[in-house]
Amino acid sequence: MDKSWMHKSRLSKDYELGVENFIKFGFSNTSSSYIRCPCLKCGNCEKHSRKGVRDHLYVNGIDESYKIWFWHGEELPNSSFYDESSKFGIHTCEDHQDVGSVKEMIEVAHEEYSKDPTGFEKLLIDAEKPLYEGCKKYTKLSTLVKLYNLKVRYGWSDTSFSELLETLKEILPTTNELPNSLYEAKKTLGALGMEYEKIHACPNNCCLYRKEFANAIECPECGQSRWKNIKDTNERRKQIPSKVIWYFPIIPRFKRLFRSIECAENLTWHSTERINDGKLRHPADSPAWKLVDMKWPDFGSEPRNLRLALSADGVNPHGDMSSKYSCWPVVMVIYNLPPWLCMKRKYMMLSMLISGPKQPGDDIGIYLAPLIEDLKLLWESGVECYDAYREEPFNLRSVLLWTINDFPAYGNLSGCCVKGYKACPICGDNTNSIRLKYGKKMAYLGHRRFLARNHPYRRQKKSFNGKKELDTIPEPLSGEDMYLKLKDLEFSRGKKNHKKRLMNRSDKICWNRLSSFFELPYWKDLHVRHCLDVMHIEKMFA
């Protein structure tokens, strides 16, 4: 079946004929009046009518990675269970990275679990063991991977998944190897997952109990105990940490991406397939990307080196609108990928989870220390990585281009004040602001200085603050100037010192602290370090 139309322009005649043939093929294999929509927005997760599917394919475009139309009746090629699982796009949902096939996952697990030969040997046995006697298509491991991916994709509860396993175990022949509970399934799939670290933290955001504080029993800054005062039934105190953060190391995940042939090829898309005609279609066309290539040519000469973005914001995991609990996930985005894959869920990498109930605020840099250390290592020396597409090892490095946040989180990550008299990160100390006498609110009336020198609004008095505007546009501080200005100042840490954030602070200063990202050697040289996300800009100004 010809599928070349999937890669052509949506305005072409070939694409139009391809869409009609696809819809005809999809409905010929079902008696329902709805089929799954393979557009980039639905991703075969939602069903629509003929007209709905046709409209979506023209408006959103088709997912070009949908190479075998399994959901629409196309037969899978005869192959081993390894190849079969790769056609489904099976990946471990615990790390949300598509490694292509069960075979590739086992190869990666061999490296990561080389210190535990017994566990890896058991994994190999499960990968080769038929699901039941005489079964040639599925093994115990491939079946569990497929079922677990369906659980995550469609949001099945743990209870429903366990009941499904019990039902399937009863339906299949009595010699089947299928586990009968979610707990047993996770024990089998555990070796395919990625490691994570649980790091104890001071509840006042003063420090992490790692490195020199790994064995401390109280905070060296505020004296708060590391443990909760909880006793068990025998009146013996149980050592439960007051606060814990989860760190998911990024280096093993980056290395696992390159072990997939498809992912390794996509990670060089910006160099091999991007149209370079001066138009802005991808972050690789931006001045920030080109600055890195020009300033550090040894880094830019290797297209496999990763360009990253970081996003962090508070979420309420309990689903209500109250602000009693704020949990902060820190997500990494990889810009080497094509634009239609950059924002896919499986490529948005959760690197850290900062637990609540209170938000970290300006002390978020304390929690980001493990992540920044890995980013620093990936910039300075890199790590050895294997490229499955080119079948060769290489030295993997990365650069963090910017962060993407809403305005309050912008202030937390940049160290800049985003409220009060000096609330503009661009104007800084030159922010023009007044406090309304009766409204008790801050007003920022210096916006006329951004107009042309001969603009009539500059001379109007009555419509504004009763004065002419003669000031010029303030020049924002560069990263180098900002670092030199703040590096010698002393900043306090923790909730107890929130009101005296700066030890030698003068009134109405616009800086709360030096951003922890300045520990990265290249950070002060970047033109754009922090970005506001589009959603909040559209919400406030559209």
| pLDDT digit string, tens, across residues 105-155 | 555 555 555 445 555 566 667 677 788 888 878 888 788 888 888 887 788
Is 538 domain-assigned? no
- Given a cut of 70, whether residue 88 has pLDDT beyond it is no
β pairing state of 349-354 and 328-334: antiparallel
Split into its structural domains, the chain has a count of: 5
Residues 433-454: pLDDT tens digits?
888 888 888 888 888 888 898 8
Q: Both 391 and 378 in a single domain?
A: yes
**What pLDDT is recorded for position 317?**
75
- pLDDT confidence of 476, banded at 50, 70, 90? confident
Is residue 233 in some structural domain?
yes
Predicted local distance difference test score (pLDDT) of residue 116: 52
Task: Tell me the average pLDDT across 285-313.
Answer: 93
Question: What is the average pLDDT value for the chain, to the nearest integer?
Answer: 81
Full residue range of the structural domain in which residue 220 is found: 197-241
Lowest mean pLDDT, pick from 58-67, 104-113, 152-161, 306-315: 104-113
What is the predicted pLDDT for the residue at 192?
Answer: 66
Task: Compute the distance between CA of residue 459 and CA of residue 467 in angstroms, rounded to an integer.
Answer: 8
Give me the residues paired with residue 229 across strands.
239
Most confident of 136-140, 376-380, 459-463, 531-535: 376-380
Return the higher-pLDDT residue of 507 and 473: 473
Q: Are residues 394 and 358 in the same domain?
A: yes
Average pLDDT over residues 252-266: 89
527 vs 102, higher pLDDT: 527
Do 399 and 444 belong to one domain? Answer: no
Residue 356 to residues 316, 320, 349, 495, Cα–Cα distance (Å): 9, 15, 21, 14
Q: Does residue 270 register a pLDDT over 50?
A: yes
Quote the pLDDT of residue 129: 77
List C-alpha distances in Å: 429 to 52, 98, 363, 440: 54, 47, 22, 21
Q: Do 379 and 358 reside in the same domain of the chain?
A: yes
- Answer yes or no: is 496 within a domain: yes
Residue 424 confidence (pLDDT) above 60: yes
CB 428 within 8 A of CB 418: no
Confidence band for 100, pLDDT divided at 50, 70 and 90: very low
Q: What average pLDDT does range 58-68 have in this prediction?
A: 84
Question: How many residues appear in the chain?
Answer: 542
Closest CA to 254 of 298, 300, 328, 304: 304
Q: Extract the tokens encoding 479.
A: 């990263």
Q: What is the pLDDT of residues 310-358, one digit of tens each?
A: 999 888 876 666 667 888 999 999 999 999 998 888 889 999 999 888 8
In the block, tokens 């309420």 appear at: 316
Structural domain contains residue 526? no
Q: Which pLDDT value is given to residue 505? A: 43
pLDDT of the residue at 299: 94
Question: Last residue of a domain, which of 31, 49, 72?
Answer: 72
Question: Do 397 and 443 have their domain in common?
Answer: no
Q: What is the pLDDT of residue 320?
A: 61
Output the six-digit token pair for 350. 């959760």
- Average pLDDT for 179-206: 81
What would the pLDDT profile of 24-56 be if each residue is shown by its tens digit? 998 998 888 889 898 888 877 788 899 999 999
Specify the range with the lowest mean pLDDT, choosing from 251-260, 269-278, 430-439, 487-496.
487-496
**In this structure, is the dihedral angle defined by the CA atoms of residues 497, 501, 503 and 504, taken in order, positive or negative?**
negative
Tokens 């790091």 correspond to 199
Q: Establish if 542 belongs to a structural domain.
A: no
Same domain as 398, residue 326: yes
Same domain? For 398 and 262 the reply is: yes
Residue 206: both structure tokens together: 């003063």
Say whether both 164 and 257 belong to one domain: no
Q: Are 321 and 383 found together in one domain?
A: yes
* Residue 503 scores a pLDDT above 50: no
Who has greater pLDDT, 498 or 24? 24
Residue 199: predicted pLDDT: 93
**331/401 same-domain check:** yes
Per-residue pLDDT, 107 = 55
Position 307 in a domain: yes
What pLDDT band is residue 99 in, cutting at 50, 70 and 90?
A: very low
Whether 370 and 252 map to the same domain: the answer is yes
Q: How far is it, in rounded angstroms, from Cα 58 to Cα 72?
A: 18
CA-closest candidate to residue 194, choices 111, 278, 95: 95
In this model, does residue 497 exceed pLDDT 80? Answer: no
- At residue 504, the pLDDT reads 40
State residue 429's pLDDT score: 81
Q: What is the pLDDT of residue 95?
A: 37
Quick one: 171 exposed, middle or buried, by C-beta within 10 A (0-12, 13-18, 19+)? exposed
Q: Is the pTM of this model over 0.85?
A: no
Pair 35, 65 in one domain: yes
Cα 121 to Cα 38: distance, rounded to the nearest angstrom: 39
Q: Is residue 55 part of a domain?
A: yes
Stretch among 80-89, 144-153, 284-293 having the lowest mean pLDDT? 80-89
207 assigned to some structural domain: yes
